[in-house]
Structure 1
């Protein structure tokens, strides 16, 4: 018997308020909850982009960053990143570097479904090809970071709303994603701190 996955609900200051079933938190009245985004790079500085599976509740068939997800209650966020990269893309990562500790966003789809997440952003470097899980990912594409960042910021690429907001913040960290200096875990919101 499998138990339903839960997410951590948070207040605007990033303090945990409790948990809720993951299936209940993506609708028209989506409560703020803890999530993460990750950007996977190879050793040439190319970023791995993914196209969300067409049956996803939020932003189906939309291109976005490498992997997003939700830490389980009590799970360190960087461990959740590693877990989801394995599940969604078949990638083995040793670690995930915290880049944007306090990123948060709210976005609404045309049908009224809302994403509302406190969403720290991580960088991961790998040296293996991705093996997408079709339940999560329809397609993948490696793109030079500079080309992707410019296209995303100039509106030339159709990407998810959270990715569109994250890319300019990541670009401020420098032109070479492999040399970005990680943030301190102490900068994470309280609900996300190890």
Structure 2
């Protein structure tokens, strides 16, 4: 089994099988994923612009990182691994919630994910992988909300769905 396999799940997040990542996205099958949101001590959120060559949503702005756990890998373990790989740091993570979404992209690929959302707090140096990230920065929650309202096409689908739920958790 290659590292490009992801975990297919049912609506209760019970593992059913594994499948090559691209095939699962071509068929639009529900699979396990995670999204990591990071804020600093000023309550600004780390966003990054996905590399333009990504297989979908290239050039769009999104949360600190997101991906899929590998078969046999715990979701939180995968979130830490991917945060280190993509953004060059790790931090404590708190699981906030899960949600399911379905989105079809212009290139015909389909995201159908059971997404585990984590929150981290970090004030150190960000050293992104340039193969994954074109730009990044910390932005106020109000600025992000304004940008989503004014230019929603600049953001990933899942980010626009999860962002208000993360903000709600931050305000508790």
User: Could you state the TM-score of these two structures normalised by the residue count of structure 1?
Assistant: 0.81
Q: Can you give the 5+ residue segments of structure 1 that lack an aligned partner in the other structure?
A: 181-194
Quickly say closer, same or farther: Cα 1:117–1:155, change in 2 above 3 A: farther
Q: Can you give the 5+ residue segments of structure 2 that lack an aligned partner in the other structure?
A: none
Aligned to 1:47: 45
Quickly say closer, same or farther: Cα 1:3–1:15, change in 2 above 3 A: closer
Aligned to 1:192: none
Q: Which protein is richer in strand relative to its size?
A: 2
Match of 2:119 among 99, 116, 123: 123
Aligned ranges 1:35-114 → 2 under 5 Å: 35-93=33-91, 95-100=92-97, 102-114=98-110
Match of 2:160 among 153, 159, 164: 164
Aligned to 1:185: none
Q: Which protein is richer in helix relative to its size?
A: 2
Q: CA deviation at 1:146?
A: 3.0
Residue 137 (structure 1) aligned with residue 137 (structure 2): no
What whole-Å deviation, never above 9, does each CA across 1:82-141 have from its counterpart, x for those lacking one?
Answer: 100110010122x211111x2111111123211111001110111212111122111112
What whole-Å deviation, never above 9, does each CA across 1:126-165 have from its counterpart, x for those lacking one?
Answer: 121211112211111210123223443x344421111111
Aligned to 1:188: none
Aligned to 2:11: 12
What whole-Å deviation, never above 9, does each CA across 1:13-63 have from its counterpart, x for those lacking one?
Answer: 321101112233222x22110000011111111111011111111111111
With 53-62 and 139-148 compared, the bigger mean Cα shift is at 139-148
Aligned ranges 1:167-178 → 2 under 5 Å: 167-175=163-171
Please say if residues 58 and 115 of structure 1, whose CA atoms lie closer than 8 Å, have aligned partners that are also in contact.
no
What whole-Å deviation, never above 9, does each CA across 1:158-183 have from its counterpart, x for those lacking one?
Answer: 211111111122232243xxxx5xxx
User: Could you state the TM-score of these two structures normalised by the residue count of structure 2?
Assistant: 0.90
Q: CA deviation at 1:70?
A: 0.7
What is the number of equivalent residue pairs in this alignment? 171
